[in-house]
Chains A and B, each alone.
Chain A
Amino acid sequence: MMTDVVMALIEMGQNLQGLPAHAKRPNKSVFLPPSHSTPTPNPRTLQAGDKMPHPSHIPDHMPAFPDPHTYIRTLTQKAPINEYQIIREKAASQKRDVERALTRFIAKTGETQSLIRDEANLFPLIAVTPHPLPYLNALLPKDQDLLAQEEEAQPTPSGKSSKSSQGGAKDGETNDQEGETTDPEAIDNPYLRPVKMARYRKKGGGGN
């Protein structure tokens, strides 16, 4: 017997020993199997293929399987394209669409300039805005493709080892850099030294 059932019965306060007796009690009600109804026959003309017989565990009175074509998987599309030309074509137009949608959106929502006066919608250009530090955007560009960035970011350990295997120069440099980070005292550069305190009083901060 299932322990869960046993536990449940005990919880309910039933006596387990009484169960077989209860099952064999004389006046128990019995379910009759349903009477066999005649299935509506399919017109022969509409039948396609042979119906599958029931597997052994399904009683015969269950309805028969439908025609096989209604449930058997059939390949409806062609093999996935892996033709280079088409992939490039798609990638290009996808990229272009994304870019165009993005720039159009920004252009629509922000200030624009136009190349042709009174035709603001034809070729909307996002207006140029001066920046107090214009060189930052120019020198730290954001146009790097994400893929390239990921590739750069991921294989750092392998990349490093391959670089260092290229020559002693790299080794020396990395060592130096490590030395720099771990022990700034090792480098004797006046700009790295701490600021000294004034040792004597000065007047007006200058003229020392």
Chain B
Amino acid sequence: MKKEGKTDVSRPYKLAHQTLCIRAINLEKKSLIGYVELVIHPLRQDLKRVKINSKQCRIYHVSINDQYEAKFLYNDPTLEICQGDAKQRNLDYFQHCHFSAMSAVDPDNGNGEITVRLPPEMYLNIAELRPFRLCIEFSLENPKGGLHFVVPDLPGPAHENAAHVFTAGLNNCSRLWFPCLDTYSEPCTWKIEVTVDNELTAVTCGDLIEVISTPDKKRKTFHYFLSIPTSAPNIGMAVGPFEIHVDPNMHEVTHFCLPHLTEILKHTTNYIHQAFEFYEELLSSRYPYTCYKHVFVDEAYVESTSYATMSVLSTNLLHSNRIIDQTISTRTVLAEAVAKQFFGTFIAMQTWSDAWLPMGISGYLCGLFIKKTFGNNEYRFRISNYLKDVQDYENRVGGIVLDPTKRDSNHHFSIKSPHTVSPRYMEAFRSKCFLVMRMLEQRIGEQLLIQVVNKLVALATTGASQKVGANTWGNLLLSTSSFLKIISTVTGKDISPFLELWVSQSGCARFFGNFVFNRKRNVVELELKQDLGAKGALKYVGPLTVTIQELDGSFNHNFKIEENKTKFDITCHSKCRRNKKKKIPLMTGEEVDMDLSAMDADSPVLWLRVDPDMNLLSHVTWEQPDYMWQYQLRYERDIVAQREAIRALENYPTAGTRRALTDILEDDHCFYRIRMEAAHCLAKVANSMVGVWAGPPAMMTIFRKMFGSHSCPAIIRQNNFSNFQNYFLLKTIPNAMALLRNIHTICPPEVFKFIMELFKYNDNSRNKFSDNYYRAALVEAVSKTVTPAITLMSTPGQGPTADNLSAETKQILEEITRYLNLEKLLPCYRHTVTVSCLSAIRTLQKFGHLPSEVEFFKSYAQHGVFRDIRLAAIDAIVDFIKTESRPEDMYWILNLVETDPDLYVRHYALQQLVLNPPFRRMETSALHTEGLVERLWKMMNCTFSYDSRLRCDAADVYFTLYGRTRPSCLPIPDNMVVLSLKDRKNKMNPAYVPDEMEEMFDDEEEDEEVGMEEGESSQVDTEADIDVTDIGGEEPSLKRKSPPPTELPPPLVLSIGSVPETCPLGIFNEDSASQSKRLKLKVKQEHPAPEPQLSVTMDTSSRLSEGSSSPTTTAVGSESSAPLSFAGLLPSSASATDMSSATDSKAHKAKKKKKKNKHKHKHKHKHDRPDKDPLGRIREGSFNSSENSPSVTQTTLSSPEFEI
């Protein structure tokens, strides 16, 4: 079924099985040691080299079938992207180099950082295409990415301090912690063994077969086996002193959390069996794996990452039963993690250009779960949010191409590799995947799409149960072409035009239109144009639905959008004269009474909607009179329509609008999110009408009616949040009211007093829910009342002194101080109140009510404070940098970005710099200096080589500040020609290995030691090259490795002849030695200084085993660089030991195999509980609008009786 050919060409072998054995993990030292063993089936008889991905790991030795040592070469061009060009500072050049560096190690191009040369003894074996085992011993010390160690700064043993480690990364970053073929397209079965201290638990992919204590009884080994073929990027691990909670409803699901959190873990996960039931029922197929594990960790890289049979989640998702807001988001995250088990890990993408499929399908499945759990309104609301996000991104930043094989985009980064893509792009990309999948659902029908998905799962399940030889493991991979094929098989439909339109090109359709009613013809004349000039616009040709609500009912009309056609007619059904008594039928079939006095007496049209079901990725600017929007808001049942109406009514500040919004706000049949939006819109409308309005401030009366106590409406009732709709309104209305302004454009004093009284009378003593989010909302509200201060400042730049603080400021500060101080003594959940207080203080500073002070925020941004607070403080600091432009603050935050232990905080700080940049290109600023350029350039060029998210973030910042061209603050390099001539040899990126070099490496037959380049050594090289100048373009290229797609010069590669002099130290100090050691000696003499840096620890064992005499200096160096923490485990004594142990493992594995079969049948679903009223329903009742407000429920709008 799947296309195998493409990958086979570039990778002449197949992976059948991989063993990953972690022999020891040292949490304090942040290191681990182990080996991997890959069972490789050669596909070509002349296979001589095998390429493996590995970064950051130290490789000790590589052996084949436990018999032969194999020579290997290590080179990683991604450590430093633009090495030769010390003065190149434009982003286009970087982008090009970045992508080619990534391709140079991309396993899908048949590349990898490690090249292993198979020993000649194996040639016979390979000629017979017999599988062989490739064993790589490695260790990892203090990793900067891929694997994250959380070691709290507490005395005592690590396991008592909740120290733990887990895999942290996004796509294809397993190579950062163990050598593997780091591609989704090479699934294999896995045996994973992890030996840890007795107090720790190791959680990884697959079934836990057994836990065996080591002979000294101090440690134990967790044996896992994963029988379903899985690709390396889907392998994850977490080790720590976890508390274990077995799901009471599904015993095969196990939850893990850090110490002391079991109680909230139980509450958080108590509904997850419903997600499993839902997906299994929907797909009518079993959950593909035999077990599932949730691990909640601190300092998580992202909220959730999915691996085969397990998810690593942020511990901050845990919550108790007193928390409302977090429940909704946590459930969504957990449900999506389960969906990703089906699509994402079990069925994975074939290549990066197919990533949209598993992402889209898992997002779609999760969407259906949300629809069931939180109701259709919530589902549609989210869709409309995603749609808006995607539109905004494409309009402001640039197009999103789901399948980038055919077209690249015009971004400042390449979208063809997961490692080069901007994280912001990825967010929008994910939303777009989901939207496109949902559009496909509407195109081919929900039933059929589910059938397709079901078929995919069924095929994958059968494929997975076969042996590797059967070549069915490709069924576990999903590619655009195979998806196309399976859709046509199942449904008989050809969706390639659909894919061509939405998947392989970017953009949203942008319509703007209006209409007039022609009374004579009884026809609505519609004009619809597309705005093709806008950024991120797409020229849409195809069907479009327009819904018209007339007096006699609602009707759908389908038009065909063609080029150059903009006029359309809709013949009306209703007569103009209307029957007073008659009720008006809506799309849902309901009939309602309407007050029709507002509308045009001649026209039967109540309102019109374009693309009501969001069948297209489109942005519609629609013109209709205000009364139509008001009718649409009041009577249309689709919440998306109500939303559109609210947005449009902002521009019609009339009494009618005000009435409509007020009615919606009060209507408890209306979806709560719509009411919340109505409140904000009402504030805007009231502000526009401030001159003509007399009476109490908007919403004051409503609020008192809803929340005031009976005997005294001015005092708010004691909190009781059991009605969730009211709870959300309670949080929203004060915020909306705080936006009210009187004629002097300040917040009316009675509103300010009202908010202060909410503070005063807040009483949560009888509430079963926590009021932390409500209190945070109050702080937020009070900060929104603040308007720019009118002060007479004698010294500019200084804020007011203590004496001239205004009365309101003092009151606000009084509350903030009290709340902030109280938070230190009685902290609330996730410190939401502190977060709001920090942002309120920044607001006061910004508007000149307080002196601007950044040190305060810096203390809250330090490591060791809860992450949410840190993020809020970083927001404030970034904002401060923008207004004050002090270089020391900018460097402070860059320092945080470079050194903070929490990787997410670093990423967040960079993202904030993108969203709220201190300056933009072409702007002048005190920060616009060469030093900053160099700092950022260094970050993206080499500092973040182990974390592609940070590297791309840094590139985003660079782009925001300087654009794509060379920053204007840099001097123009003038004498570069001379320099570059002189140093021509250094221009090559030393990490690029030209093919001919590899050939040489191949051809050499002596048993020479194999050198490798370590991260440090390459950096040393850089240091040496740093004064080299060139702009590149003028250089005559000697030989090119890969033809460059742009005008920019690729890193030059030297011809063979020049290798001995120009090759950077460490890579090839042996390759030239095919001839002799004389040459090597010469190299060493030439560069004596960096020699110790090139320590090649990994050589030790191979050298020892082969008994070759090696220079003692290197040997000493290698000994000293071995991780001390594993002194006993180092395979330094002799390779013979390791070989024997590896043989052991083989025998052991055979035994395990039998075991595994026993466990295979253990998977039983025990959750077929009979109740129709599960626990979750009780909890969710209020969210589920279909229960609470039945009239709001959306029914299928395309019911046949409405078709014309």
Contact = CB atoms under 8 A, between A and B. Distances in A.
To the question of whether A and B form a pair in one complex, the answer is yes
Interface of A: 83-85, 88-89, 91-93, 95-96, 99-100, 102-103, 106-107, 113, 115-117, 119, 122-128, 130-148, 151-152, 166-170, 172-173, 176-177, 180, 187-193, 195-199, 201-208
A145 B764 contact: yes
B230 interface: no
Contacts of A88: 709, 712, 715, 761, 763
Contact of B212 (A91, A188, A196): A196
B315 A106 contact: no
A191 B864 contact: no
12 contacts: A84-B712, A84-B715, A103-B817, A107-B821, A113-B856, A123-B814, A132-B161, A133-B162, A134-B864, A190-B208, A202-B214, A204-B1129
Contacts of A191: 201, 208, 244, 246, 254
B715 A85 contact: yes
B85 interface: no
B709 A208 contact: no
Contacts of B322: 144
Contacts of B1154: none
A93 B1003 CA distance: 87
B406 interface: no
A144 B213 CA distance: 44
A135 B291 CA distance: 28
A204 B1139 CA distance: 13
A208 B212 contact: yes
Contacts of B767: 145, 148
B211 A139 contact: no
Nearest to A184: B246
Contact of A127 (B859, B863, B867): B859
Contact of B251 (A122, A144, A189, A196): A189
Interface of B: 21, 23-24, 34-35, 152-154, 161-162, 193, 195, 198, 201, 207-216, 219-221, 244, 246, 248-249, 251-252, 254, 258, 260-261, 264, 270, 291, 298, 315-316, 318-320, 322, 709, 711-712, 715, 760-761, 763-768, 770, 772, 799, 801-802, 813-814, 816-818, 820-822, 824-831, 841, 850-851, 853, 856, 859-860, 862-869, 1128-1129, 1137-1138, 1140-1142, 1144-1145, 1148, 1162, 1169-1171, 1173-1178
A147 B221 CA distance: 48
Q: Which of B21, B161, B814, B818 has the most CB of A within 10 A?
A: B818
A206 B195 contact: yes
A99 B818 contact: yes
B1173 A169 contact: yes
A176 B862 contact: no
A91 to B, nearest CB: 7
Given A128-B860, A141-B772, A205 B24 contact: yes
A139 B264 contact: yes
Given A124-B817, A132-B153, A206 B761 contact: no
A131 B864 CA distance: 5
Contacts of B816: 123
Closest 4 CB pairs of A and B: A130-B864, A207-B1141, A206-B23, A103-B821
Contacts of B1138: 207
Contacts of B152: 132-133
A189 B831 contact: no
Given A142-B827, A167-B1175, A136 B260 contact: yes
Nearest to A198: B215
B864 A106 contact: no
Contact of B821 (A126, A131, A196): A126
Contacts of B261: 136, 139-140
A116 to B, nearest CB: 5
A113 B974 CA distance: 52
B708 to A, nearest CB: 11
A196 B211 contact: yes
B212 A207 contact: no
Nearest to A186: B251
A20 B21 CA distance: 111
A11 to B, nearest CB: 65
B808 to A, nearest CB: 14
Contact of B818 (A96, A197, A198, A208): A96
A96 B252 CA distance: 50
Contacts of B154: 132-133
Contact of B828 (A134, A143, A172, A206): A143
A199 B765 CA distance: 59
B252 to A, nearest CB: 7
B264 A128 contact: no
A115 B853 contact: yes
A117 B801 CA distance: 9
A143 B261 CA distance: 17
Nearest to B863: A130
Contacts of B868: 138
Contacts of A103: 817-818, 821-822, 825
Contacts of A137: 827, 831, 866
A193 B211 contact: yes
Contact of B1141 (A95, A190, A204): A204
Contacts of B219: 205
B711 A84 contact: yes
Contacts of A206: 21, 23-24, 34, 193, 195, 221, 1129, 1141
A196 B215 CA distance: 11
A115 B813 contact: yes
Contacts of A106: 821, 824-825
Nearest to A167: B1173
Nearest to A142: B826
Contacts of B212: 195-199, 208
Nearest to A174: B248
Contacts of A140: 260-261, 264, 320
A144 B212 CA distance: 44
Contacts of B770: 141, 143-144
Contact of A96 (B193, B760, B821, B863): B760
A196 B222 CA distance: 10
Contacts of A135: 258, 298, 315-316, 866-867
A202 B1144 contact: yes
Given A124-B817, A196-B211, A202-B215, 19 more contacts: A107-B821, A115-B850, A125-B820, A131-B865, A134-B865, A134-B867, A140-B260, A141-B770, A145-B766, A167-B1171, A173-B248, A189-B252, A191-B246, A198-B212, A198-B214, A205-B214, A206-B21, A206-B34, A207-B1141
A132 B163 CA distance: 10
